[in-house]
Structure 1
Amino acid sequence: MLLSLPSPSPLVSTMSEKKKKKNSTRRSVVVVGESKKPQPLVEVEDIEDSLSFSKDETHKLRVALLDWYDLNRRDLPWRTTFKQEDEEVERRAYGVWVSEVMLQQTRVQTVIAYYNRWMQKWPTIHHLAQASLEEVNEMWAGLGYYRRARFLLEGAKKIVAEGGQIPKVASMLRNIPGIGEYTSGAIASIAFKEVVPVVDGNVVRVIARLRAISANPKDSATIKKFWKLAAQLVDPVRPGDFNQALMELGATVCTPLNPSCSSCPASEFCHALSNAKHDSTVAVTDYPVKGVKVKQRCDFSAVCVVELVGAETLNKNQSSSKFILVKRPEEGLLAGLWEFPSVLLDGEAVPLARREAMDRFLEKNLKIDIRKTCNIVLREDIGEFVHIFSHIRLKLYVELLVLQLKVGVDDLFKSPDNKTTWKCVYSNALSSMGLTTSVRKVYNMVQNFKQKTLPSSHVPTKKRTRTTTRN
């Protein structure tokens, strides 16, 4: 029996207080059924039944979405149709896996080029299993969230070591490093036709609007509800296509800010749209509720591009000069990637403090004492910029330090310990390396500075340590 409640259920749609009508004490919502008029709110214990899709709705939604998907799906490289031979299915499973991992937190148009290059270099899981982490990181450079790439490599090595067959069911796929509930569902349903759901941000948005759920989509109980609702909808004959249709609908039609409700194949089943038509204070985009964004941490870093030149290099072509790269720790942000020497600061330090911190780093970690083992040819502050991570706002101060060593460049690398944490790279090789976006930006800043400021032959032989800032 349906009863009116003095306050809304946590899973049933409500609007913020500022949008309620002055004389209203509760918000009406559409409950499952054929009626298009707003219905009373439901008891908390009745939520499970009230949000579930009826058999008739489920059948009609499957037909509508699959018909729409067949006509409107985007032509994407990972959607290539393979034959049902075992080898072909394995290839598709591998392709789906790679694409789904790349698509996490990344736009489709960005992923396409990366996916094509990846599959050309490592067309099967067996090829990938032979790669090194450094090769994988270079291929991934610029895509961000590098932990994803490491998990792909670890997963490939594990599968090949255990026989070389990608598991065909979601529950077994979740034993592979980096594969969780979403990715396992995508691989199992798309490649192996297992009838399991997938729930990503697009699916959450579509279902939230279909059922007029405004609860926080980040809440664990709410997430479980979305998975249950998605499981009700999966088509038993074409589970992979249906899951892709649901995601495609959210990506192209049922978008966060400007949904195209008039062209939506599911509009007749959408309770959010029905609510919006019956109440001018309600909008389809009110569903689901916008989560509170986590405040970004502000960090500051001094980055020093250290260029090493020998006596024979000065006043000659600079292609024989080398740059120092440091390998980041194997755990944490940008784990295992190469970058220019950098030091985290305790705030927006003045130039002198930044240099002193960098000098200590070079001496302690790289055994370079710029006062004893080399001559400073040039030292310039060349600019600063902000790089945004998902949870960090990092401000980087960039300087160029050109050093003439009193010993040969190769003499710095006689210690085995040093080789595991840092290396020298020729300038012509550095320009073609796969570098992270921020490291590439630092390198481009240095190149632009040289082109504008320094003679074309090389840096001047007279020592320069003037501090300048160029944004």
Structure 2
Amino acid sequence: MSPEQFQQKLFIWFDRHGRKDLPWQLDINPYRVWVSEIMLQQTQVVSVIGYFNRFVARFPTVQSLASAELDEVLQHWSGLGYYARARNLHKTAQIVADNAGVFPQTVAELSALPGIGRSTAGAILSIACGQSQPILDGNVKRVLARFHAVHGWPGDSNVAVQLWQISQRYTPTQRAGDYTQAMMDLGATLCTRSKPLCDICPVAEGCQARQQGLVKQLPGSKPRKDLPVKQLHFLLLLDKENRILLERRPQTGIWGGLWSVPEFADPQALQDWCLQRHYRIHASQTLPGQRHSFSHYHLDYIPLLAKLENPINNVMEGGRAVWYKTVEITTLGLPAPVKRLLQQYFTEDQNDEND
């Protein structure tokens, strides 16, 4: 099947069955496409819809995002994970805002901005600007790897080069934006990772993986390795007014820039930390341990709920550690497991008070 035949069959299918009412497909402009593409990285469409709607409602333009405090941006991102995406979004918004709010019009210039890679740049330029630019997100990698029976893990540099060449060759000069949307749709709805719907795929007759019985094997998986396990103790420390102590994490690293509870390698380190600050614990309770998995390790954490006996100052350590009331927590950017932990505790605590 030639690229032209592939495009024709794909357009016929997309015009009849493609998704055209997702929030970022309405009122299309570079800003909205950019935000959606960043959110959709390693996150499913169904999870992104609500976040996108809330995000653009609060930050409708690149200028409004650029002028916002990072804390508020992170708060609107809380729960989506991979928080470097939000920090880069904020940085790039400030750069674009300084350019009168105009996004660069070349892949090279867009790719030079924080958090924007070649595929994201291509998606912005094709969907929002009508340029003929290839993309290679996860869905498109899967479609092309199967259609051309490309073996190997797409994350491998040699395999990626091959897929980029195919993507370039198949991207049309006309209706490039629709083609980009159609390819992402095809991968998301028919050519899925498991249980692909080959019988109704518009390009099934040319798919080499189907012809060779390799649909389940392609694309190749990332070489597996056992993830290490890191163990921590989380301290939920409450003062006499039932405020909780939260610390802002460093800008770099896991959960960068978010607010979290103090964490320790072991109970002794936790006790030493309290002694150094002259905290006298009135009562404490060890809560059930939980696990949060990252892409490169598992985090097992044991929460310790503790209440102070002595009064404390409201702000400490240059503002990095702050005592927050329950109602204030909802306005902060919190890591997902910490947010769930606090919601669980405060909900139960409030229910106990109401009984």
Shorter-chain TM-score range: over 0.9
Q: Which residue does 1:337 correspond to in 2?
A: 258
Q: Which residue does 2:278 correspond to in 1?
A: 369
SS of aligned partner of 1:301 = strand
- Pick the aligned partner of 1:93 from 30, 46, 63: 30
Rounded Cα–Cα distance in structure 2 between residues aligned with 1:455 and 1:257: 47
Deviation, structure 1 residue 300: 0.5
Rounded Cα–Cα distance in structure 1 between residues aligned with 2:144 and 2:183: 9
Indicate yes or no: 2:334 matched with 1:435: yes
Indicate yes or no: 2:145 matched with 1:241: no
Rounded Cα–Cα distance in structure 1 between residues aligned with 2:346 and 2:162: 53
Q: Which has the larger radius of gyration?
A: 1
Deviation, structure 1 residue 193: 1.4
AA at the equivalent of 1:99: S
The Cα offsets for residues 53-101 of structure 1, whole Å up to 9 and x where unpaired, read as xxx611111111112112212221101155xxxxxxxxx1000000000
- Pick the aligned partner of 1:409 from 287, 301, 313: 313
Q: 1:305 to 1:257 in 2, by over 3 A?
A: same
The Cα offsets for residues 108-133 of structure 1, whole Å up to 9 and x where unpaired, read as 00100000000000101011000111
AA at the equivalent of 1:193: G
Q: 1:113 to 1:383 in 2, by over 3 A?
A: same
Indicate yes or no: 2:196 matched with 1:259: yes
Q: 1:344 to 1:105 in 2, by over 3 A?
A: farther
Q: 1:362 to 1:178 in 2, by over 3 A?
A: farther
* Most deviating of 168-177 and 96-105: 168-177
Q: Which residue does 1:322 correspond to in 2?
A: 243
Contiguous gaps of at least 5 residues in structure 1: 1-55, 83-91, 277-282, 310-319, 346-353, 458-471
The Cα offsets for residues 274-313 of structure 1, whole Å up to 9 and x where unpaired, read as 122xxxxxx421122222134322000101101011xxxx
Q: Which structure would you say has the larger RCO, counting Cα contacts within 8 Å and 6 or more residues apart?
A: 2
Indicate yes or no: 2:52 matched with 1:115: yes
Are the aligned partners of 2:66 and 2:97 in contact in 1 as well (CA < 8 Å)? yes
Are the aligned partners of 1:294 and 1:391 in contact in 2 as well (CA < 8 Å)? no
Rounded Cα–Cα distance in structure 2 between residues aligned with 1:186 and 1:335: 27
The Cα offsets for residues 213-272 of structure 1, whole Å up to 9 and x where unpaired, read as 222322101101100100001110111211121111111101112111110000111111
Rounded Cα–Cα distance in structure 1 between residues aligned with 2:195 and 2:163: 22
Q: TM-score, normalised by structure 2?
A: 0.94
- Pick the aligned partner of 2:220 from 281, 289, 293: 289
Computed over aligned residues only, the root mean square deviation of the Cα atoms, in angstroms, reads 1.9
Indicate yes or no: 2:309 matched with 1:395: no
Q: 1:63 to 1:81 in 2, by over 3 A?
A: farther
Are the aligned partners of 2:75 and 2:331 in contact in 1 as well (CA < 8 Å)? no
AA at the equivalent of 1:300: Q
- Pick the aligned partner of 1:359 from 268, 271, 279: 271
Indicate yes or no: 2:11 matched with 1:71: no
SS of aligned partner of 1:68 = helix
- Pick the aligned partner of 2:2 from 57, 62, 86: 57
- Pick the aligned partner of 1:446 from 345, 349, 354: 345
Contiguous gaps of at least 5 residues in structure 2: none
Deviation, structure 1 residue 456: 5.6
Q: 1:408 to 1:258 in 2, by over 3 A?
A: closer
Deviation, structure 1 residue 448: 5.6
AA at the equivalent of 1:440: K
Q: Which residue does 2:157 correspond to in 1?
A: 220
Q: 1:269 to 1:443 in 2, by over 3 A?
A: same
AA at the equivalent of 2:328: A
Q: TM-score, normalised by structure 1?
A: 0.72
The Cα offsets for residues 363-399 of structure 1, whole Å up to 9 and x where unpaired, read as 55xxx222xxx4x321111221111111121111011
Deviation, structure 1 residue 195: 1.0
SS of aligned partner of 1:383 = coil
- Pick the aligned partner of 1:419 from 318, 331, 334: 318
- Pick the aligned partner of 2:231 from 285, 300, 312: 300
Q: Which residue does 2:108 correspond to in 1?
A: 171
- Pick the aligned partner of 1:80 from 12, 19, 26: 26
SS of aligned partner of 1:409 = coil
Are the aligned partners of 2:238 and 2:244 in contact in 1 as well (CA < 8 Å)? yes
Rounded Cα–Cα distance in structure 1 between residues aligned with 2:103 and 2:148: 36
Indicate yes or no: 2:284 matched with 1:379: yes
Deviation, structure 1 residue 451: 5.9
Rounded Cα–Cα distance in structure 1 between residues aligned with 2:169 and 2:179: 12
Rounded Cα–Cα distance in structure 1 between residues aligned with 2:312 and 2:162: 65
- Pick the aligned partner of 2:40 from 87, 99, 103: 103
Q: 1:362 to 1:186 in 2, by over 3 A?
A: farther
Rounded Cα–Cα distance in structure 2 between residues aligned with 1:321 and 1:448: 13
Rounded Cα–Cα distance in structure 2 between residues aligned with 1:81 and 1:241: 15
Rounded Cα–Cα distance in structure 2 between residues aligned with 1:177 and 1:434: 20
AA at the equivalent of 1:339: S
